[in-house]
Amino acid sequence: MKGTSSMTDERLPLYQRLRDDMLSKISAGEWTPGGAIPTEAELTKHYGVAVGTLRKAVDTLVQDGLMKRSQGRGTFILRPNFEGSLFRFFRQVDARGDRRIPISRILDRQLESPARYVADALELAPLEKVIRLERIRQIDGVTLLHEDIWLPASCFEALMQIDTDDFGNLLYPFYEAQCGQLIGSARETLTVETADQKLADILEIDTEQPVVMIERLAFGYDRTPLEYRRSRGPADTFRYQVDIT
């Protein structure tokens, strides 16, 4: 397979190696989310594989929601809607009932040595540092969420030089613009706990009141862990819905 990276695991089936190499091209910025990938003819020539193998590799990316085929136009790289994911759980409406993206404010930013659970989640080497962000998300001055966010310092060092007032409300486009880091997928876990005094003060709720925590591990398109996040909000604003068919 002449076009693949030297980092490809030769033990994997050929279509999986193609898939991984395509994802590495997105992570490296060779292919851009929102844009079309090269044609089948171009890719089969580049990789030196049969069209059936190539299609199987692309099929897996389509099934994972990372790409979408458009009849007569080609195959396009998708940009996941992570904000839609998070706020399907918490109400994001103002006093009039209109849906809005909450305003975000960074409370603290530190370069630090990570706790073990953070280092394990981000698969960090010993002595690697992280950038920790603490922020809140509000609508009309009401705090909906408190978030602790950890990022590998080696990938996001540029964030230490930017005024926290300039971070904006959506972090993933900001990571891409400032650090060249693309978030392609994430895994979320929901748990319920009680608010300690600090969290209760921030969320303006009673101590020991139930809060929902959404724990998110976000990955680059090549499945490299890039962000570990814990978002907490009052349980009485939480709503879970799933359609079962």
Q: Which structural domains are found in the chain, ordered by start?
A: 14-77 (1.10.10.10), 82-237 (3.40.1410.10)
Segment 89-118, tens digit of pLDDT: 665 554 555 666 788 999 999 999 999 999
Tokens 């969320």 locate to 203
For residues 65-93, average pLDDT: 75
This prediction has a pTM of: 0.79
Contact by Cβ (8 Å): 77, 37: yes
Identify residue 14 by its one-letter amino acid code.
L
Q: In 3-state terms, what secondary structure has residue 236?
A: helix
pLDDT interval class at 5 (50, 70, 90): very low
For a pLDDT cut of 90, what percent of the chain falls above it?
A: 61
Q: What is the mean pLDDT of the chain?
A: 87
Here the tokens at position 41 are: 């003819």
User: What is the per-residue pLDDT for 174?
Assistant: 92
Contact by Cβ (8 Å): 36, 74: yes
Taking the C-alpha atoms of residue 75 and residue 35, their distance in angstroms, rounded to an integer, is 8
Q: With 70 as the cut, is the pLDDT of residue 242 above it?
A: no
Cβ atoms < 10 Å from Cβ of 40:
14
User: What is the per-residue pLDDT for 89?
Assistant: 60
Segment 130-143, tens digit of pLDDT: 999 999 999 888 89
